[in-house]
Structure 1
Amino acid sequence: MEAKNQGGGAGTTKRPTPPPLPLSVRLQVTGLTAAIDAVERRDGTVNRCLYSVIDRLLSARPNPRPDKSGVRSFDVTMDASRGIWARVFAPAAAEHPLPVIVYYHGGGFALFSPAIGPFNGVCRRFCSQIGAVVVSVNYRLAPEHRYPAAYDDGVDALRFIDANGIPGLGADVPVDLASCFLAGESAGGNIVHHVANRWATEWQPSAKNLRVAGIFPVQPYFGGEERTESELRLEGVAPVVNLRRSDFSWKAFLPVGANRDHPAAHVTDENADLAEEFPPTMVVIGGFDPLMDWQQRYADVLRRKGKKVQVAEFPDAFHGFYGFPELADANKVLQDMKAFVESNRATPKSTSS
């Protein structure tokens, strides 16, 4: 399809027509982007008073009793001094050890938490459809906590799980910590990359139990000073992401005075100092995501560095599509992720006791 090739050619001038979306999805996306625009200030700060109101309206409470899909959820404190906690999603019981997915939510590094409705729903579907215990991490937000705070918190969440397991899970749900996968979309996808690299470099050799077996950067937030072809072509066309919102996120997150070519944002051959044991990677890319060029370049960097990488590309998908179960692609990507988990597990399901 033509949309699959839209990430490269500079000759593309015609603005594409977005694929039709169900009314429920359009309303949710409109409401979410309006909330983002309401709290993000031009000076790179967040109106936290207004944000706290919106956060309460959009948040879902943990549900310790299994729902109709058999998934229960509860919250675990990891470091109260820094406000690091996680929402755990698990079945009531399991006959064999389950893989673990540690999830980092999106929100441009500056917004949201594991409780926000779409992220809460994604993790619930991870648990029921992939067959994993999901640990959704609440990391500190920018601009109050700039780079590398989110990465530090992401690594420390893994250290907590390595040392303590998953408190509150119970003996009825055994887990396979040697089959731990990291997942996250947007800013969370960026965090997934950097946390995985730091874990492989600094912590994996001394870890007691936890092994990162693979990662899912879903439409990861990468960037640079350059305005790519996809950013320009989809400006004002694609929902959720535009140049103004992207620039806000980098201004809020990166060190004061840094530009978008900082290594946190701009993962290139020159600054991607990847660990020898960098885990297998599945990059998810949407054809109506303005960031798709950066995501394709990221996958290319991993390939050139000799890392195991596969790309799951959805030509009609906008940024954040997999948070909406009404969309067929949101369910298809979970099937792809399940296959990736099963093919990269340390202990295959069929041999678990």
Structure 2
Amino acid sequence: MSSLSSSSASASAPPPHVVEDCLGVVQLLSDGTVTRPTRSFLSDPPVHDVRRDLPVQWKDVVYDEAHRLRLRMYRPTTSIGLAGGGEKKLPVLVYFHGGGFCIASFEHPSFHVVALRIAHDLPAIVLSADYRLAPEHRLPAAHHDAETVLSWLHRHAVAGSAADAWLAESADFGRVFVWGDSSGGNISHHIAVRYGSGGLDINPVRIAGCVLLGPYFGGEERMASEACSPADVLMSLALFDQMWRLALPAGATRDHPAANPFGPESAPLDDVAFPPVLVLNAEHDLLRDRTADYVARLKAMGKPVELVEFDGQEHAFFVYEPWGAAADGLIRVVRQFVHGGAPDTAAALSGSPELHSTNFFFRHF
């Protein structure tokens, strides 16, 4: 009797329904399963030119066999901009893409173009890495994957002639920079904290600096720029809140340490030896006040952090317009940060009226 009742109940159970639909790219169903349509707006090529003529090589490499995670390595075939010519090895820039921890990949044309431009224009060896996405793999999975990328780089740094040929020939393991936009900026902060607190032992790899472009942080208390943000735009507060629901551990709030570096359960950062941090903010980013607050708090702790603001720009502007005037200014600022030299604000800002600097200077590393 009980088996018949059970079978009958099973037969009458409604099919799973969509609980969360994030941009049509990822859907969370009522039974906990996740679907990712094979085609979405992210499948379409961006409107900008991929610039296949740039003298940059790239190849895909597996950095984590257990989770089948890959990165795309870029190497410029010229030494444009390098003092000392082609004999000098290049800094390594580890890049983490944005997407609210839920969407995107290094393979998407927009992130491919960004990595191409960084590799060519800085110049640098660029490692553009994928990481596990939510909600299938909720935070801190992405943070752990980022640490795995740095550990993978460490293995090559100590491997000598057995290292990847591009790294062995061209990489300066003493000048490694971590760059992330949006959720990738959140990851870049996480790496800075782990490295600065001694939790990421990767010697002889040295993290010489971190770049955070519009870092994706959150909090239960709204900042002014969040509270007054328009609802009829793609990058809306509702979208960001939805992505946090999908990315954070089930039941967690936006004050979870993975979202809010200064939340009630977050570890204090006072004693963390941060590497130099360059934070890039956009005037029309709804997270701009949260980003400015992040910089102000770190400065109050005496951390080596600088803020550069881009007037007239929106969240992730470099990804959407990697060949625009603001992107040109961004590249100049980051090039100065990475390659050092005498502080020259005027040169970095030259030709970029849309760029505004707050407490702007660069240090020798």
Match of residue 254 from structure 1: 248
TM-score by length of 2: 0.76
Alpha-carbon distance change, 43 to 163 in structure 1, aligned in 2, over 3 angstroms: same
TM-score by length of 1: 0.79
Shift of 1:236: 2.9
Q: Does 1:134 align with 2:126?
A: yes
Q: Does 1:215 align with 2:210?
A: yes
Deviations 1:6-27 (A, max 9, x none): xxxxxxxxxxxxxxxxxxxxxx
Tell me the distance in 1 between the aligned counterparts of 2:238 and 2:42. 25
Deviations 1:318-337 (A, max 9, x none): 01101213421111011100
Identify which of 229, 240, 252 aligns with 1:234. Answer: 229
Shift of 1:120: 0.7
Matches of residues 95-134 of structure 1 in structure 2 within 5 Å?
95-134=87-126
- The structure with more helix, counted as a fraction of residues: 1
Indicate the RMSD between aligned Cα atoms, in angstroms.
2.6
Match of residue 28 from structure 1: none
Alpha-carbon distance change, 263 to 87 in structure 1, aligned in 2, over 3 angstroms: same
Alpha-carbon distance change, 326 to 132 in structure 1, aligned in 2, over 3 angstroms: closer
8 A contact 2:176–2:206 mirrored in 1: yes
Matches of residues 1-150 of structure 1 in structure 2 within 5 Å?
37-41=23-27, 48-50=35-37, 52-54=38-40, 57-58=43-44, 67-92=52-77, 94-150=86-142
8 A contact 1:312–1:333 mirrored in 2: no
Q: 1 or 2 for the larger relative contact order (CA 8 Å, sep ≥6)?
A: 1
Tell me the distance in 1 between the aligned counterparts of 2:33 and 2:338. 37
Tell me the distance in 2 between the aligned counterparts of 1:148 and 1:57. 27
Query: Which range moves more in the overlay, 86-95 or 137-146?
Result: 86-95
Q: Does 1:328 align with 2:291?
A: no
Alpha-carbon distance change, 38 to 67 in structure 1, aligned in 2, over 3 angstroms: closer
8 A contact 1:59–1:115 mirrored in 2: no
Deviations 1:61-105 (A, max 9, x none): xxxxx9422111100111122122100111236431100000010
SS in 2 for 1:146: coil
Alpha-carbon distance change, 309 to 85 in structure 1, aligned in 2, over 3 angstroms: same
Q: Aligned partner of 1:104: which letter?
A: F
Q: In percent, how many aligned pairs have the same letter?
A: 33
Alpha-carbon distance change, 246 to 300 in structure 1, aligned in 2, over 3 angstroms: same
Matches of residues 147-162 of structure 1 in structure 2 within 5 Å?
147-162=139-154
Match of residue 285 from structure 1: 281
Shift of 1:228: 2.0
Tell me the distance in 2 between the aligned counterparts of 1:95 and 1:56. 40
8 A contact 2:98–2:184 mirrored in 1: yes
8 A contact 2:135–2:247 mirrored in 1: yes
Shift of 1:315: 1.8
Alpha-carbon distance change, 58 to 36 in structure 1, aligned in 2, over 3 angstroms: farther
Q: Aligned partner of 1:343: which letter?
A: G
Match of residue 22 from structure 1: none
Structure 2, gaps ≥5 residues long: 1-20, 79-85, 158-162, 342-365
Shift of 1:42: 7.2
Tell me the distance in 2 between the aligned counterparts of 1:273 and 1:211. 23
Tell me the distance in 1 between the aligned counterparts of 2:66 and 2:28. 30
Q: Aligned partner of 1:328: which letter?
A: A
Shift of 1:292: 0.6
Match of residue 338 from structure 1: 335
Q: Aligned partner of 1:322: which letter?
A: F
Shift of 1:58: 4.3
Shift of 1:153: 0.4
Structure 1, gaps ≥5 residues long: 1-34, 61-65, 345-353
SS in 1 for 2:258: coil
Alpha-carbon distance change, 268 to 56 in structure 1, aligned in 2, over 3 angstroms: closer
Shift of 1:253: 1.3
Alpha-carbon distance change, 289 to 157 in structure 1, aligned in 2, over 3 angstroms: same
Deviations 1:89-125 (A, max 9, x none): 1123643110000001000001111111111111111
Tell me the distance in 1 between the aligned counterparts of 2:198 and 2:167. 30
